[in-house]
Chain A
Amino acid sequence: MNQFNSGPSINAYNKLSHWFDFSDPGTLKVYSGKIDIGQHISSTLALITSKITEIKYDQIEIIKLSTDISPNEGITASSLSVANSGSAIKAASITLKINFLNYALESLKIKNEDILFENGVIKDKNSNKTISYWDFAKTDDFRKIIIPENFDENSLKRINYENNQKIELKTINDIVTGKYKYVHDINFPKMLHARIVRPPSYHCKLTKINEDFKKRLVENDIILFVKGSFVAILSLDEFLVIKFLEIAKNNIFWEEKKQLSGDNVFNSLEKNEKESLLVKSGGEAFYEEITEKKSFDDPKIKSLSTIFKKSYLMHGPIGPSASCAIYNDNEFTVFSHSQSIFALKYSISKYFDIDPNLVTLKFMPGSGCYGHNGADDVAFEASVIAKAYPERHILLKWTREDEHLWEPYGSASLNKVFGAINDDGEIVYWSNEAYSDTYLSRPSDIELNNFTSYKFLTNNFVITKSKPKTSAHMGIHRNLDPLYNFKETRLVKNLVHDLPLRTSALRTLGAFANVTASESFLNDLASIKNVDPFDIRINHLDDERAIDVLKNLKKKMEIFKSKKGSSRGIAFSRYKNSAAYCAVGVELNVTDDLEIKLNHAWITVDAGEIAYEDGIKAQVEGGFIQAASWALYEEVIFDSKEIISKDWDSYKIIGFDNIPVFTTSVIDQKGSPYLGVGEVVAGPTGAAISNALCKALGQRIKILPFTKDNITKELLN
């Protein structure tokens, strides 16, 4: 380890007290701006702290994010939790350890070789005198220390640690005993349970509520909350709210302002108004002229073009979104499982036009989070209701149907890919045009209309067009720029307007579609010249770490003999071309009934220095399973009247009956920056399955998901 950069969080929070609280003897409390959304970031952060400070893992507690005490490290998203918060806490830990050692040696007037260091306490071997981190934290020295932005070789020499620890997750005991508390489990005296009465579709204005129904509500002590076209019912008894929610549906009437488009979404993606931007090497998008695709007359060069299609995908957490809010003494306290806890604080204060300091957001766990789901919406909605009933906690939960119908989906998309390969197996031209709706419609204080209920509260149903984001790998063009050194590329991002369904950030944004398309197409180009899938990739890579993950994958796959009748496929990607590297291999069988059975999955990942190896494995295996589910089963079905995928029967996801055996390898780059792994595996998984399927069928299937229907259609074409 020659140098270490503390990362962006240290710029704003450079004191030890921003990260550490030693007020409780024997326990080190650690602050972080990131939250547990299923990835067990708390355990990883505690482990990083423990490795460096040599305070036992069990003595370390990660404080749940609360906007009044925690550092604002932005959204818990984009595979940056370990990269940002992990690096910051590592920097704080190194600073703490070095300063503590100096302080102890000086105070005890001893040398390095005279010390015994255990559980955060330094003992002089000769005199038995001790000094602890907790003693040090009370000194003026501790308060004055500034965490540097960079550490040089000399400071790092004093820090020794290994990266192969096994730990018990901080939350696991509570999870297996049912004691782990989610926001859904909150219970306060006199708390009101709430549900929203939803209209049949996105663009509906409230017209009438039956008087008899209102009377029945009053008779049963149920409160009816109406603001604009936003309707909710509240009761002390949760069951009663659910019971009356069903009755409400037949007693509340709406005027539909606009129907959903009943057109095939892939036609709409081509036909509709769009903004087209040129994406350059490095992954940034520019408003520049987009040249026509090249054509090739040279007989030594073969070209190919394909269109890949991906349907709308759902986040679909198993527990629907929920939030609890109270308005008391002009202040809001909101419990939420949102990824965007700080942004929510500012959005809610903006909506009510109050000082942001009057809004405190407290993180409480929710069900797994894979991007911008309903969590922000429900917290905003709970706050709106809470304002009307001061001093009462409002626990608002979305129903399963709310979650399926109202969450922002991952957009449907098209990738038009064209490429050319010469006789030497060299790719001389590569064009990829991505067409999609936005992946970035998170609400904020300047985009309150991104809350799904905002239009109902304001009765303003005007649709605002989203604007293309241009930063590198942002949204639709994430991983559109391949890491390969192709001679010439032409990359186009098309943000398509007026598409039917609400969309926003789903795990990987555009990368799943882009990598699935490009890594499938790469195989198709290679096969024209009979180039091996590993060779075509390795031959077009300069980055040694990328080459190493592919070589490692190849070695691991060779160990296992293929099952009878099975087919294999591989794929590779470096997430955002700047985060973790990942190569995936898949072996599958296709049944006579065109069902795809996954036998084996090989994953090799280089995530920089290993923060927590089992955590990385859990993330990439979990990511594989989710992406396999997208690739094999998932599509949101809708028509011009409604979204039809309203439960788990009408939106199928992967079950325990199609889980492959995993061989997962993590390459440790000790001393290198941490690189996040929450999303890296999805793109290569889609492509590896696509490539194995292509081999099995002898034909490329170009539409996701790979259901019997889609495969049949493609085979008949």
Chain B
Amino acid sequence: MNYLDCSFKINGNLKKISIIEDKSLIFVIRNELGLTGTKLGCGLEQCGSCAVLIDGEKRLSCTLLAKDYQNCEITTIEGLENDNGLNNVQKAFKEFNAAQCGYCTSGIIVSITALFDKNKKPSSQEIQNALDGHLCRCGSHSVVLKAIDSLIEN
């Protein structure tokens, strides 16, 4: 097995680690760096629970080759808090209790953060596009949509 010395900038911290050269990014994030808020749901880019931000763009970390993202700014759910605590999306989800089991929630929060970082007043179609590919099985959709709507109103 070939190992590779890599450095990753995750949530503002530089981490140097040696990894199996074809390791997927999600396993670096979860297992090497202990950031378990990013969830593995399918490993097939079908459910959205592994979403992270790479240079501000939402990406699904389950199929990305980790070594290709060494020079990027990677942000996970744990890195969304700012100096004032929770970011606005996290605050809205908290205020609306917008989760059931919560397994899909961090991926959704990451996607919606990426959306609002670019556009403070997204249209409902843009919100739908951001949520496309995020699956929730408990049916938290209605309250998640309420939390997102509150971000536009505020």
Q: Which of B53-61, B115-123, B141-149 contacts A (4 or more CB under 8 A)?
A: B141-149
Contact flags A533-558 to B (C-beta < 8 A → 1, else 0): 00000000000000000000000000
Are B145 and A172 touching (Cβ within 8 A)? Answer: no
Stretch of A16-24, A177-185, A466-474, A510-518 with 4 or more beta carbons under 8 angstroms from chain B: A177-185
Q: A626-B138, A649-B46, A655-B131 known; A178 and B101 CB under 8 Å?
A: no
Q: Is the CB of A178 within 8 A of B106?
A: yes
Once the chains are docked, how many angstroms separate the CA of A94 from the CA of B132?
A: 48
**The one of A177, A181, A185, A365 that contacts B86, using a Cβ cutoff of 8 Å:** A177
Q: How far is the CA of A176 from the CA of B136 in the complex (A)?
A: 15
Contact assessment for B41 and A659 in the assembled complex, using a CB-CB cutoff below 8 Å? no
Residues on the A chain within 8 Å of B136, using CB: 318, 656
Contact present for B44 and A400 (CB under 8 Å): yes
Chain A residues with CB under 8 A of B135: 318, 648, 653, 655
Kindly state whether residue A623 has any CB partner on chain B within 8 Å: yes
> Residue A200 at the B interface, CB < 8 A?
no
Alpha-carbon separation in the docked complex, A621 to B30 (Å): 32
Judge whether A400 and B43 touch: CB under 8 Å: yes
Shortest CB distance B9–A (Å): 18
Least Cβ distance of A239 to chain B in Å? Answer: 4
Contact present for A318 and B99 (CB under 8 Å): no
A563 to B12, CA, bound (A): 49
Which residue of A has the minimal Cβ distance to B97? A169
B27 close to A (CB within 8 Å)? yes
**What is the bound-complex CA distance between A23 and B132, given in angstroms?**
48
Smallest CB gap from B130: residue in A: A656
The reply to whether A173 and B94 contact each other, CB–CB distance below 8 Å, is yes
A181-B36 in contact given A318-B103, A318-B136, A662-B142 (Cβ < 8 Å): yes
Compute how far the CA of A365 lies from the CA of B101 in the bound complex, rounded to whole angstroms: 8
- Chain A's closest residue to B147 (CB) is A176
Contacts of A315 in B (CB 8 A): 137
Minimum CB distance partner of A601 in chain B: B142
With A38-B100, A168-B94: A648-B46 Cβ-Cβ less than 8 Å: yes
A3 close to chain B: CB less than 8 A: no
Centre residue among B76, B103, B138 by max chain A CB count within 10 A: B138
Max chain A Cβ within 10 angstroms of own Cβ: one of B30, B77, B94, B141: B141
A159-195 CB contacts (< 8 Å) to partner B: 168-169, 171-173, 175-182, 184-185, 187
Give per-residue flags for B1-37: 1 if the beta carbon is below 8 A from chain A beta carbons, else 0: 1000000000000000000101110010011001111
**Nearest-neighbor residue (CB-CB) of B136 within chain A:** A318
Q: Does A26 lie at the interface of the complex (its beta carbon under 8 Å from any beta carbon of B)?
A: no
A183 vs chain B, min Cβ distance (A): 11
Q: Which residues of A contact B44 (CB under 8 A)?
A: 400, 647-649
Chain A proximity of B75: nearest CB distance (Å): 11
Whole-angstrom CA separation of A243 from B39 in the bound complex: 18
**Given contacts A38-B138, A177-B78, A622-B140, A368 and B100 within 8 Å (CB-CB):** yes
* Inter-chain contacts of A40 with B (CB < 8 A): 97, 100
Residues of B within 8 A of A365 (CB): 101-102
Considering only CB atoms and an 8 Å cut-off, how many residues of chain A contact the other chain?
59
B152 within 8 A of A: no
Interface of B, helix, strand, loop or mixed by DSSP: loop
* CA distance in complex: A369, B101 (Å): 8
Interface string of A492-503 (1 = CB under 8 A from B): 000000000000
> B100–A178 contact, CB under 8 A?
no
* Complex interface: chain B residues within 8 A of A178 (CB): 35-38, 76-78, 106
Interface residue ranges of A615-637 to B (CB < 8 Å)? 618, 621-626
In angstroms, Cα B102 to Cα A369, docked, is: 12
Known interface pairs A625-B142, A648-B47. Does A179 touch B20 (Cβ–Cβ under 8 Å)?
A: no
| Shortest distance from the beta carbon of B40 to any chain A beta carbon, whole Å | 7
Q: Is the CB of A319 within 8 A of B41?
A: yes
Interchain nearest-CB distance for B140 vs A (Å): 6
- Give which listed residue, B46, B49, B77, B141, contacts A656 with CB less than 8 A: B141
Q: Is the CB of A647 within 8 A of B46?
A: yes
Which of A173, A178, A657 is the most central at the interface, judged by chain B CB atoms within 10 Å of its CB? A178
Interchain CB contact (< 8 A) of A177 among B81, B100, B134: B81
**Among A172, A187, A242, A370, which residue has its beta carbon within 8 angstroms of that of B137?**
A370
Closest to A649 in B: B46
Chain A residue nearest in CB terms to B36: A185
Query: Chain B 51-94 against A: per-residue CB contact (8 Å), 1 yes, 0 no?
Result: 00000000000000000000000001110110000100010011
Enumerate chain B residues within 8 angstroms of A175, measured Cβ to Cβ. Answer: 93, 99, 102, 105-106
Q: Bound state CA distance, A369 and B103, in angstroms?
A: 11
Determine how close the nearest CB of chain B comes to the CB of A180; give it in whole angstroms.
6
Measured CB to CB, the closest approach of chain A to B111, in angstroms, equals 11
Query: Which A residue's beta carbon lies closest to that of B62?
Result: A400
B84 to chain A, nearest CB (A): 14
Segment 581-629 of A: residues with Cβ below 8 Å from B: 614, 618, 621-626
The chain A residue sitting closest to B108, CB to CB, is: A656
For window 310-345 of A, CB contacts with B under 8 Å fall at 315-320
**In whole angstroms, what is the CA distance A438 to B93 when docked?**
39
> Which residues from chain A contact B109 at a C-beta distance below 8 Å?
176
**Residue from B20, B81, B103, B139 within 8 A of A239 (CB atoms):** B20
Q: How far does the alpha carbon of A626 sit from the alpha carbon of B24 in the complex, in Å? A: 31
A626 touches B77 (CB 8 A): no
Question: B128 at the A/B interface (Cβ < 8 Å)?
Answer: yes
A239 touches B76 (CB 8 A): no
Among A276-314, those with CB < 8 Å from B are none
Query: Min CB distance, B50 to chain A, in Å?
Result: 11
Chain A residue with the shortest CB-CB distance to B90: A176
A131 close to chain B: CB less than 8 A = no
Q: A237-B31, A318-B104, A626-B137 are in contact. Are A400 and B142 (CB under 8 A)?
A: no
Q: Are B138 and A368 in contact (CB under 8 A)?
A: yes
Task: Flag if B37 contacts A317 (CB, 8 Å).
Answer: no
Task: State whether A618 touches B41 (Cβ < 8 A).
Answer: no
Could you tell me the distance in whole angstroms from the C-beta of A627 to the nearest C-beta in chain B? 9
Tell me if A184 and B141 are in contact (CB < 8 A).
Answer: no
**CB <8 Å contact, A319 and B142:** no
Question: With A40-B100, A177-B81, A400-B44 in contact, do A626 and B49 touch (Cβ < 8 Å)?
Answer: no
Docked complex Cα distance between A39 and B132 (Å): 24
Q: In the complex where A177-B78, A184-B40, A237-B31 touch, is A368 in contact with B1 (Cβ < 8 A)?
A: no
Nearest-neighbour CB distance to chain A for B98, whole angstroms, equals 8
Q: Measured between C-beta atoms, what is the minimum distance from A400 to chain B in Å? A: 4
Does B97 lie within 8 Å of A625, measured CB to CB? no
- A180 CA / B143 CA spacing, docked (Å): 19
Bound-state Cα–Cα, A614 to B140, Å: 12
A662, closest chain B residue (CB): B142
Q: Is A112 an interface residue (CB 8 A)?
A: no
**Bound: A167/B36 CA distance, A:** 26
B143 to A, closest residue via Cβ: A618
In the docked arrangement, what's the CA distance between A368 and B27, Å?
22
Contacting pair A648 B42 (CB below 8 A): yes
A-B contact pairs, 21 of them (CB 8 A): A38-B101, A168-B97, A171-B99, A172-B94, A176-B86, A176-B94, A179-B37, A184-B40, A240-B1, A317-B101, A318-B137, A365-B102, A399-B43, A622-B140, A622-B142, A625-B139, A648-B46, A649-B44, A656-B132, A656-B134, A659-B145
Instruction: Give residues in B with beta carbon < 8 Å to A.
Output: 1, 20, 22-24, 27, 30-31, 34-44, 46-47, 49, 76-78, 80-81, 86, 90, 93-94, 97, 99-106, 109, 128, 131-132, 134-145
Pick the 6 closest A-B CB pairs, nearest first: A178-B37, A622-B139, A625-B139, A178-B77, A38-B101, A368-B101
Residues of A with Cβ closer than 8 Å to B?
37-40, 168-169, 171-173, 175-182, 184-185, 187, 220, 237-240, 242-243, 315-320, 365-370, 399-400, 614, 618, 621-626, 647-649, 653-657, 659, 662
Supplied contacts A400-B44, A625-B139, 7 more A-B pairs, CB within 8 Å: A177-B86, A180-B102, A185-B30, A238-B31, A319-B40, A614-B97, A655-B134
